[in-house]
Structure 1
């Protein structure tokens, strides 16, 4: 079950931090706080100059500051301060979303994008629509210019149109935050034939969401019709986007009558908290004197979707037994105390090792890690289990540096047809067919493994200069993939390219991946042995030369 924090990290790991890292984080937080205050003051100044009636309220300033504080720091970093009215719109949408009957709240408008190479002055001279609420990534500006040029080539506009901003629709949603909300929203937009060109997703610290999409695929002059159709589609979707039903008193987990995995909550002894996410907390603890990891769902965040995901994780984990899969011990299934208990992985997550501790895997160690992952994934696939959220944060290390696959909150047992639909997982690691809501199978995990392998090779976050949603748009529409280092082992580079091929059937199975990795490991080991022998021989001969 996914429990994401600000770094997209989850799992059962030991907390490990160093003071230099902590100092850098503190300095960064101070800089972000100063920037947030600057943006707040600038937005407030512009709203006052605009003479809007809301600004006259004595409580407005505090309300605006609370708006910035309830959203993550990157909201202030990304928002277009020249469009102070947009901040006011976001504030109103979030306030409306607090009333259950209103959810989800949304706003639709036409915006115009400044293409690459277009000046701001030229933009304001020709623009009849406002710019998007948030600064666009370079790939969007380039896309706009490319599309405008295509219009000229197709004879759809005059020769000067390539220099004018191109209109698109911006759709902003606000509702209570919940698992797979982005999946539901992107699926909704896809159903209407809209192509997401840019996306910004924010979660507030009190359980609400603000999701902003720039889309194309709808006639510019028919904004009202788009608004009406969105309302109808939301109504048709029913409870997934609107409020759910009342929660049962007990989470039903299918059983075969043999397994005994229900744990008495009173027998769990909680130690220190080692991780915290939007929907739950992870503790180190003990159960019958055994060191365990205890993942506890926050009662105030539990809904029908969360219970379904929890039940799915327990159902799958109780069936798997493999040295490269985290061992399930038991679960508490009576709300409000819902928790999953697994073996404690003292080595932490691969994500934390790479991105927080700034660790690096040398090639032999990298291959051992990749082989461990492949063995675990091969076992899952042989048992018809698709993980669907394979990423470095869900790969944990024990005290012997054995890597195990963890976190089965979005995993599924493969259906009879062999293909599945519905988006899940985390965008940076997600296969294009999953992003696009197309039918998919176990090869979606292979794509994610390719991204993980690249991560092991480079110690970098995939598409680190893009937001997760921007990365997803690039993967689907532009065939975006991480850049393979030039000094990568040739066979490893070829394996990477094979894993993230666009067509799922062209990707290898994990049995083939495992065989390839073991072959590379053998070659690397032999080369290392040869180098050691050469070094030993040269030392022996140098001694002979000195003796003569």
Structure 2
């Protein structure tokens, strides 16, 4: 998930090689870890008292593994009587970079509370048993819903999903948080099909200044300015949302005939997914504005949400109907 290349120059063989290696490292990987108990505890406890959210591992029961990555595993579990998801980090993969990501992820999760953001329950910073515990989302990810279960969405359901995503992302952006890895695999559903933004392994607070890491996220959803090592801001998340919206409309994997590297190189040169046939023209217009190469031309999530809410009201109220629902 975290792609950091050493070279920042032109299209050279070295760049291609580095990108290939980065893709190989990142596909399906987890972000967030640590290699020192004291470093993690000191970093997080400098912001808050750890006992407010520190998990008592004796009370945490882990069950089946529901996902696996290169640096850790995700389990279903029970904590204090409630179903939870437990992200367990493997001690043999811990290093300084993963330590920083773990600290950042916990710091961000502690600060966010919204209906459309996965709820943080606690974390264990006691090395080597490092984990993050969040609410369990029984509906699974939008990626699986679309691509493994092969669900084709009706327009009204598609719009509700998209509005949920916008509400979560609007809240994060208003909280000065940039997600940096918005994709259908990181959008989870509860029992009522409410979509929530999840996985803050590479998310960052944006109000602290400094330069954001280049090529952070997942290539198929990544904005061109991120791929190109240019300065970027929260509008990079809007580009990623455009690809998510395209997925919701088409029920296809973006650039499915390409490798992640080929897709990234194509996006650098202006490539975008083929516009879907028979889609609502307002959705096509919206996704084109959201994936504009010039980030300042992209709308904000507040603007996108309003447009989608108006469109949902239109499709729920056929012309001539007295009561639109």
Name the stretch that deviates more: 247-256 or 454-463.
247-256
Moved more, 257-266 or 322-331: 257-266
Residue 491 of structure 1 aligns with which residue? 282
Task: Report if aligned partners of 2:183, 2:240 keep a CA contact under 8 Å in 1.
Answer: yes
Question: Closer, same or farther in 2 for the Cα pair 1:192/1:495, shift >3 Å?
Answer: closer
Computed over aligned residues only, the root mean square deviation of the Cα atoms, in angstroms, reads 2.5
Q: Which shifted more, 365-374 or 481-490?
A: 481-490
**Equivalence for 2:100:** 308
Q: Give 1:503's aligned residue.
A: 294
Query: Normalized per residue, which structure has more helix?
Result: 1
Deviation at 1:527, TM superposition (A): 2.1
Aligned pair partner of 2:7 in 189, 192, 195: 189
**What is the CA deviation profile of residues 462-482 of structure 1, one whole-angstrom value per residue up to 9, with x for unaligned ones?**
0001111110000002x0000
Paired position in structure 2 for 1:336: 128
Cα drift, residue 404 of structure 1: 0.2
Q: Partner residue of 2:65?
A: 273
Aligned 8 A contact 2:37 2:125 in 1? no
8 Å CA contact 1:247, 1:303 repeated in 2: yes
SS at match of 1:190: coil
Conserved 8 A contact 1:418-1:441: no
Q: Which whole-Å CA distance do the structure 1 matches of 2:96 and 2:117 have between them?
A: 27
**Residues 1:363 and 2:117 aligned together:** no
Distance 1:374 1:259, change over 3 A: farther
Match of 1:544 in 2: none
Q: Select the residue among 518, 523, 527 that pairs with 2:318.
A: 527
CA distance in 2, matches of 1:526, 1:419: 47
In 1, distance between residues paired with 2:323 and 2:180? 42
In the alignment, does 2:202 pair up with 1:410? yes
Q: TM-score, normalised by structure 1?
A: 0.54
Provide Cα deviations, 1:288-329, integer angstroms capped at 9, x if missing partner. Answer: 111111010111112111111111100000110000000000
Unaligned runs of 5+ in 1: 3-179, 211-245, 534-548
Aligned counterparts, 1:222-301, within 5 A = 247-250=35-38, 251=40, 252-253=43-44, 254-257=46-49, 260-301=52-93
Could you report, residue by residue, the CA deviation over 1:206-234 in whole angstroms, capped at 9, with x for unpaired residues?
Answer: xxx69xxxxxxxxxxxxxxxxxxxxxxxx
Give how far 1:200 is off: 3.9
CA contact (8 A) 1:387 1:410 kept: yes
Unaligned stretches of 5+ residues in structure 2: 27-33
Q: Does 1:398 align with 2:186?
A: no
Matches within 5 A, 1:71-470: 180=2, 182-184=3-5, 188-191=6-9, 194=12, 196=15, 200-201=20-21, 247-250=35-38, 251=40, 252-253=43-44, 254-257=46-49, 260-416=52-208, 420-470=212-262
- 1:322, 1:379 within 8 Å by CA — same for their partners in 2? yes
Question: Equivalent residues in 2 for 1:27-38 (5 A)?
Answer: none
The offset of 1:528, in angstroms, is 8.1
Native 8 Å contact 2:4 2:213 kept in 1: no
- Corresponding pairs, count: 311
Please tell me whether the aligned partners of residues 421 and 439 of structure 1 are also in contact (alpha carbons under 8 angstroms): no
On the 8 A contact 2:66/2:74 being kept in 1, the answer is: yes
Q: Deviations over 1:425-468 (max 9, x none)?
A: 00000000001111100000000000000001001000001111
Which structure would you say has the larger RCO, counting Cα contacts within 8 Å and 6 or more residues apart? 2
Q: CA deviation at 1:420?
A: 3.3
Following superposition, the deviation at residue 417 of structure 1 comes to 5.0
Task: Report the CA distance shift for 1:203/1:423 in structure 2 as closer, same or farther (over 3 A).
Answer: closer
- In 1, the alpha carbon distance for the partners of 2:131 and 2:280 equals 43
**What CA distance in whole angstroms lies between the structure 1 residues aligned with 2:103 and 2:320?**
49
- Confirm or deny: 8 A CA contact 1:421 1:440 kept in the other structure: no
Q: CA shift at 1:336, angstroms?
A: 0.9
Q: How much has 1:341 moved relative to structure 2?
A: 0.2
- Kept in 2, the 8 Å contact 1:324–1:373? The answer is yes
Pair member with larger Rg? 1
| Distance across 1 between alignment mates of 2:141 and 2:154 | 17
